[in-house]
Amino acid sequence: MCTAATYQTKDFYMGRTLDYEFSYGEKIAIMPRNYPLQFRHDGKKITHYALIGMAHVIDDYPLYYDAVNEKGLGMAGLNFVGNACYNDVQENVRNVAQYEFIPWILSQCASLNEAKKLIKEMNLVKTPYNEQLPAASLHWIIADKSGCITVESVKEGLKVYENPVGILTNNPAFDKQMFNLNNYMFLSPKQPVNMFSKELDLKTYSRGMGALGLPGDLSSMSRFVRVAFTKMNAKSKSSEKESVNQFFHILGSVEQQRGCCEVAEEKYEITIYTSCWNSQKGIYYYTTYDRRQITAVNMHKINLDGQQLISYPMLNDEEFYEQN
Amino acid sequence: MCTAATYQTKDFYMGRTLDYEFSYGEKIAIMPRNYPLQFRHDGKKITHYALIGMAHVIDDYPLYYDAVNEKGLGMAGLNFVGNACYNDVQENVRNVAQYEFIPWILSQCASLNEAKKLIKEMNLVKTPYNEQLPAASLHWIIADKSGCITVESVKEGLKVYENPVGILTNNPAFDKQMFNLNNYMFLSPKQPVNMFSKELDLKTYSRGMGALGLPGDLSSMSRFVRVAFTKMNAKSKSSEKESVNQFFHILGSVEQQRGCCEVAEEKYEITIYTSCWNSQKGIYYYTTYDRRQITAVNMHKINLDGQQLISYPMLNDEEFYEQN
Amino acid sequence: MCTAATYQTKDFYMGRTLDYEFSYGEKIAIMPRNYPLQFRHDGKKITHYALIGMAHVIDDYPLYYDAVNEKGLGMAGLNFVGNACYNDVQENVRNVAQYEFIPWILSQCASLNEAKKLIKEMNLVKTPYNEQLPAASLHWIIADKSGCITVESVKEGLKVYENPVGILTNNPAFDKQMFNLNNYMFLSPKQPVNMFSKELDLKTYSRGMGALGLPGDLSSMSRFVRVAFTKMNAKSKSSEKESVNQFFHILGSVEQQRGCCEVAEEKYEITIYTSCWNSQKGIYYYTTYDRRQITAVNMHKINLDGQQLISYPMLNDEEFYEQN
Amino acid sequence: MCTAATYQTKDFYMGRTLDYEFSYGEKIAIMPRNYPLQFRHDGKKITHYALIGMAHVIDDYPLYYDAVNEKGLGMAGLNFVGNACYNDVQENVRNVAQYEFIPWILSQCASLNEAKKLIKEMNLVKTPYNEQLPAASLHWIIADKSGCITVESVKEGLKVYENPVGILTNNPAFDKQMFNLNNYMFLSPKQPVNMFSKELDLKTYSRGMGALGLPGDLSSMSRFVRVAFTKMNAKSKSSEKESVNQFFHILGSVEQQRGCCEVAEEKYEITIYTSCWNSQKGIYYYTTYDRRQITAVNMHKINLDGQQLISYPMLNDEEFYEQN
């Protein structure tokens, strides 16, 4: 399905994989500060923070999958089928349609703290974008360099969780995912020592045996554990190149290869794209299943005071570098 | 440590990861047909098949880690520490120093069958390249489009195994690795069905649950199972781009991220490079930990009738593609 | 810690293990119909259903660990440390001290349905039996031949869950335990078939490979899965001897052996006793760690119209049967 | 299939489970010193050490499954289907039919050392007992208080392994089973510490989490690991009752419950009997699936100088002890 992660070196990075069996058509979309934002139930924003992110653009409107704003607050929506449950529109609250949750937050909040406050006023409602695009079942990860939260709208109401691991996948709900990490506390990047029996001469016959027990499949609970272990133990230098590169390696640990997750007869879920943004610099990096080279779109290369949505096609064609 | 794999679409592909905590300095080296090959104990070859592969080049001599010849026979050596055991030089046999096993085979054999026959005459000996480079503990995978074998020189003698899965990692010995796959026969890219109890309403709450139980750590036994599952279930179209790309996804399933395998205080094993060659076309593709874009070196772009080793540095610097 | 299970053949059976590092002193206690039951906050019951169960008896009062009443309704309390959370006494509700929850239900309810109704009126409170015996952190399983529920008093309030698997262990909360079973739906008493790859000749080299992946450790989540698998697949004839015997085999699958669960320096949790009652016949069977032979106490062998608690010591001394 | 174990307290204990879907009819058989032992190819023994063990008795001849002699040397044969490979009768060696391997060793050897020497002279042959009883595919564990070995007759020849863990199950071969223990060296009876990440507040929410990863199914490789962990960490006092009791708890960790291992339509493998002998005292203890109480047969209660095989039926009927 999908995996999101955060990563801190000198700068704060965040991104996600989008795993699915087909693409709706994605574009890297920059929404400048004066793009007129008409919310469905919550009025209009003429001026706001600029955003960059991956979106399905329809009628010049970006349905963002993930984005970051010019203040460094990032957000991603991930599948949460069977658990997501949205409200009906109510009076005297700020009703927000699920499809506009990302721009509603990122256009108005300069920090995670501001986002937390705004969410308290929010009633997340099931209004679809249009009849052809029913509400997606999602949950969200929101983060800046100060921290990370998970937002889940479930039957019992809206849950806002602190997310100390900076990871989100899909089902089950975030509290179950975090609890499940307890079962893996013995995993380590270091070699194990023999605690089975002092009387047996057991050997570490291979490097990397300290994480024996780490799940390797593509289910969302296993991806949560694996990417959490990878991210929490990841080491890199802090330059832009090294940080971004390491981030793609982290999400690479849960990449979905074509053929390994069959969702219908000869339909395979794959990692359609992987994104990584530098929250401070406003640069959105991505790779796709067919294009390994990292492509960058920099929001500050356009005039952020504009009114028009600027979008770039998601490049998807591998170009081999010919060394001879 | 390392992982090797084969992959068949329209063409036959083969390659490997090299996982280690530091690099000896690798180059992509093409040995043309008239490069004078002086074997340590087995005479000289003035004319032979041309090779391309990754090597540590010393005194203009390529110590190949992996290579393929112009006939489409490929070979890779992978760490086998604690198990590899080489012979002393004997009379009346063809003594081959372990460091020259790859060129000895690839320079003379046009097919896996020819390699199997030649190996029967071979006495693999411990002679080091020089005093500074002691014999590496290795085992080998040799393959062309007709099949794949594993060669292990152990205490009990030289073992040549048919390798039906087309995978090699490190310890333990190949027969134990293959046997271990039996324990994972229930893994599937399809969703599981409830066999636990008909009376319980168990649910597939996530996609990808059919491979629950697949190991996710970096030890060599776990990498063997994981990459075997990924390769045996991999699906791609058969064009060069799609085949090569899928091959890198297959080996990506066992990539080693910096930080997850600590081999000494703050020393981490990583996937230094990943290679993939098209056996028919003589093109050697590679990526490195720091450079995701696939780089290609084509042996047929040089004069293969030359006498000089042609080598190219292993490019290791990520270049982001700037889309705006 | 503890494991409880139900089992249906011709009759309905229920029981539990009590796992701990020391015993408080247990007795098999029969409370006849006219034993005067003085509840702490909910008045007095002069006449009520008779019970039999395992208890720590203090001041002639049975602090039941588990019990069944003459109508066939059974109940057991199991450790739930860190999650159990009891209320304060409130007005206008039926306040029940946690230590008297078992007799309060079993003395008044002839069926699970009656228990469910009564629980709706209950406010489970933290009042301890006395100052030396602080409130234990528990959750409960209640069952008769019609069904099974789990009752958990947690921070969020009193949770009453349908328990379709008829199993209870300890932490985490019951909903997490049930959810976790989804991860094991592929386990089977039958041999697995090769779904890994049709091209590999994988073998079932041993019987019993269909449940590869079943956890074997003594943690409460692993015991839940293991005993659930064992119970849901258990087969026996339906005579009393065969049913009771099979029940002890089911709970035997999660027995705690001395040495395998160290809870403090040289302190080991073991299965102190295992109980099994025939709900219809009012017979309470048990074994202890040191006494394998099944011992039976039959409530109908005493005058159930009495007023005095009748208790029997828990026999704990193995007697080998000498065949020659 | 089967599991064998050794256990040392003040005395040395050894025993096994026999797991199968039906019984051939077992008896506890004492072979006194003057029972005339006619070996098939290796002459006759008129006087020899006395034995006690479990056997299928045919024509007054005991086909021992497991036995111990009066000197304290014990031995058990366990299924090894698909791997066992016996020789043809040869000249100038001591040919021993596989069915008489146990009495051949135990009648002549006073210690493990003597057994090791005798085995060097042995040619283990496929001669069946008779046409109705084809040679069983077995391997063997032989032990006294000085040590333990495993004997396997395979395609490559007779293998005699030191057995430091004192455990035997079934397939695969013993060297693979021992190697596999390396993968579990991190298991511990103590609680795990958080090595996953210092920045995450992971919790041991249950006791017994130190052995998370221990396999719980009934396959022979999983039983090997589980009983090895249980035995190597087992703690008991050293009296006869406590030692024997703990031994049955150790083998109880791999007991096969009816229903959990289906070997054919509605045919289930179960633990038919579990045995435990005190090697020094010559007492043979056993329990059966249907009879939990430990039954004892003492070889020293009969005249060991006799000539007749003395056998006792395997008692199999549970007798509940009625406490009231």
Asked if residue A130 is part of any domain, the answer here is yes
Closest residue, chain C, to A175 (C-alpha): C176
Q: Which of A183, A186, A194 lies closest to D195 in CB terms?
A: A186
Distance between CA C195 and CA B232 in Å, rounded? 11
Closest residue, chain A, to D197 (C-alpha): A232
Q: Phi/psi of residue A315, each to 5°?
A: -65, 135
CA dihedral D314, D318, D319, D324 (to 10 degrees): 160
Active site residues of D: 2
Q: What confidence tens digit (pLDDT) does each residue in C49-67 have?
A: 999 999 999 999 999 999 9
Check CB contact under 8 Å for B195 and C187. yes
In this structure, the number of other CB atoms found within 10 A of the CB of residue C294 comes to 22
Q: Percent of chain D having pLDDT more than 70? A: 100
Alpha-carbon gap: C84 to the closest alpha carbon of chain D (Å): 13
Q: Does D87 touch chain C (CB under 8 A)?
A: no
Q: Phi/psi of residue A116, each to 5°?
A: -60, -40
Distance between CA A251 and CA B248 in Å, rounded? 15
CB under 8 Å to D150, separation ≥6 — which residues?
Answer: D139, D140, D141, D142, D159, D160, D161, D163, D168, D174
pLDDT for A318 equals 85
* Per-residue pLDDT at D1 exceeds 90: no
In this structure, the number of other CB atoms found within 10 A of the CB of residue B43 comes to 9
Angstrom CA distances, A146 to A120, A168, B182, D204, stand at 19, 17, 48, 28
pLDDT for C1 equals 81
| Residue numbers in D near A188 (CB within 8 A) | 195-196
pLDDT for A227 equals 98
Catalytic residue among C2, C109, C148, C276: C2
- Single out the residue of D157, D154, D156, D91 nearest to residue D120, CA to CA: D157
B2-8 and B12-20 beta bridge pairing: antiparallel
Q: What confidence tens digit (pLDDT) does each residue in B79-106 have?
A: 999 999 999 999 989 999 999 999 999 9
Distance between CA C5 and CA B218 in Å, rounded? 39
Q: Does C183 touch chain A (CB under 8 A)?
A: yes
Q: What confidence tens digit (pLDDT) does each residue in B226-252 have?
A: 999 999 999 999 999 999 999 999 999
* Per-residue pLDDT at C210 exceeds 90: yes
Name the residue with tokens 């079943």. Answer: C214
Q: Which of C221, C229, C257 lies closest to D206 in CB terms?
A: C221
Active site residue C2: yes
Confidence of residue D60 (pLDDT cuts 50, 70, 90): very high
Which ranges constitute the DSSP H helices of chain D? 101-106, 112-120, 174-181, 220-233, 240-252
Asked if residue C276 is part of any domain, the answer here is yes
C122-125 and C94-97 beta bridge pairing: parallel
Closest residue, chain B, to A271 (C-alpha): B249
* Angle, in degrees to the nearest 10, between helices B220-233 and B174-181: 60
Pull the structure tokens for residue D320.
Answer: 């509940």
pLDDT for B32 equals 98
Find out whether A57 and A129 touch, Cβ atoms under 8 Å. Answer: no
Distance between CA B196 and CA B191 in Å, rounded? 14
In this structure, the number of other CB atoms found within 10 A of the CB of residue A231 comes to 23
What is the Rg, in whole angstroms, of the alpha carbon atoms belonging to chain B? 20
* Per-residue pLDDT at C318 exceeds 90: no
Chains interfacing with B (3 or more CB pairs < 8 Å)? A, C, D
- How many interface pairs between B and C have CB atoms less than 8 angstroms apart? 100
- Single out the residue of A113, A103, A111, A173 nearest to residue A138, CA to CA: A173
Asked if residue A49 is part of any domain, the answer here is yes
In this structure, the number of other CB atoms found within 10 A of the CB of residue C300 comes to 14
Distance between CA C247 and CA C237 in Å, rounded? 11
Question: Mind listing the pLDDT tens digit of every residue in chain A (324 residues)?
Answer: 899 999 999 999 999 999 999 998 999 999 999 999 999 999 999 999 999 999 999 999 999 999 999 999 999 999 999 999 999 999 989 999 999 999 999 999 999 999 999 999 999 999 999 999 889 999 999 999 999 999 999 999 999 999 999 999 999 999 999 999 999 999 999 999 999 999 999 999 999 999 999 999 999 999 999 999 999 999 999 999 999 999 999 999 999 999 999 999 999 999 999 999 999 999 999 999 999 999 999 999 999 999 999 999 999 998 899 999
Q: What confidence tens digit (pLDDT) does each residue in C174-183 have?
A: 999 999 999 9
**Mean pLDDT across the stretch B298-307?**
98
Rounded mean pLDDT of chain B? Answer: 97
CATH number for A138: 3.60.60.10
Asked if residue C319 is part of any domain, the answer here is no
* Per-residue pLDDT at B164 exceeds 90: yes
Check CB contact under 8 Å for C205 and B179. yes
Alpha-carbon gap: B225 to the closest alpha carbon of chain C (Å): 10
3-state secondary structure of C209: helix
D283-288 and D270-278 beta bridge pairing: antiparallel
Asked if residue D324 is part of any domain, the answer here is no
Q: Does C82 touch chain D (CB under 8 A)?
A: yes
* DSSP-derived secondary structure letter, A191: P
* DSSP-derived secondary structure letter, A215: B
Pull the structure tokens for residue C3.
Answer: 């494991």
In this structure, the number of other CB atoms found within 10 A of the CB of residue C260 comes to 30
Alpha-carbon gap: B93 to the closest alpha carbon of chain A (Å): 33
Q: Looking at chain A, how many residues does it have?
A: 324
pLDDT for B1 equals 81
Rounded mean pLDDT of chain D? Answer: 97
Check CB contact under 8 Å for A269 and B323. no
Closest residue, chain D, to A207 (C-alpha): D183
Q: Does B213 touch chain D (CB under 8 A)?
A: no
Q: What confidence tens digit (pLDDT) does each residue in D18-35 have?
A: 999 999 899 999 999 999
Check CB contact under 8 Å for C172 and D298. no
Find out whether C257 and D249 touch, Cβ atoms under 8 Å. Answer: yes
Complex prediction ipTM: 0.97
What is the Rg, in whole angstroms, of the alpha carbon atoms belonging to chain A? 20
Distance between CA A188 and CA A178 in Å, rounded? 18
Give the DSSP per-residue string, D27-52. Answer: EEEEE-TTS-EE-SSS-EESS---EE
Write out residues 273-292 of A within 8 Å (CB-CB) of B: 285, 287, 289-290, 292
Closest residue, chain C, to B166 (C-alpha): C200
* Angle, in degrees to the nearest 10, between helices C220-233 and C174-181: 60
Check CB contact under 8 Å for A221 and C176. no
Q: Which of B196, B203, B205 lies closest to C229 in CB terms?
A: B196
Chains interfacing with C (3 or more CB pairs < 8 Å)? A, B, D
Q: Phi/psi of residue D122, each to 5°?
A: -90, 145
Asked if residue D245 is part of any domain, the answer here is yes
Asked if residue C221 is part of any domain, the answer here is yes
Residue A89: domain span = 2-313
D94-97 and D122-125 beta bridge pairing: parallel
Give the pTM: 0.97
What is the number of domains present in chain D? Answer: 1
B267-268 and B262-264 beta bridge pairing: antiparallel
pLDDT for A258 equals 98
Asked if residue C62 is part of any domain, the answer here is yes
Name the residue with tokens 């009025």. Answer: A43
Q: What confidence tens digit (pLDDT) does each residue in C285-303 have?
A: 999 999 999 999 999 999 9
pLDDT for D257 equals 98
Q: Which of B164, B185, B195 lies closest to C196 in CB terms?
A: B185
